[in-house]
Amino acid sequence: MADKPKKGNAITRRGLFPLLGSSLLLPFLGYSKTSTIKEAAEEEEYETLLKPDGTIVKVKSSALKNSKVVKKNIPNSTFLQWLGKKF
């Protein structure tokens, strides 16, 4: 009598599809961790400052605390020259 061929551990197409499908779902598992990082970044306090060209910029409060003051108590005329305004 003829012996039946033994089925080895060969990977067939039918066995490959579930592996491929489950590997495509792996990126979705990491999104829960990134939301906590975004929430922590949003909790930081920002202050609005004026740039020399007249535009408004949001700056972190921690960056302002760590900065040094170049000139204190400047007069309005000097400030207007810095802004480039002519009055």
Query: Could you report the per-residue pLDDT of 3-61, keeping only the tens digit for each?
Result: 666 666 777 778 888 888 888 877 777 665 555 566 665 667 899 988 878 889 999 88
In which region does residue 74 sit, left (phi positive, over 0), alpha (psi from -120 to 50) or beta (all else)? beta
Is the full-model pTM beyond 0.85?
no
What gap in Å lies between CA 44 and CA 35, rounded to an integer? 15
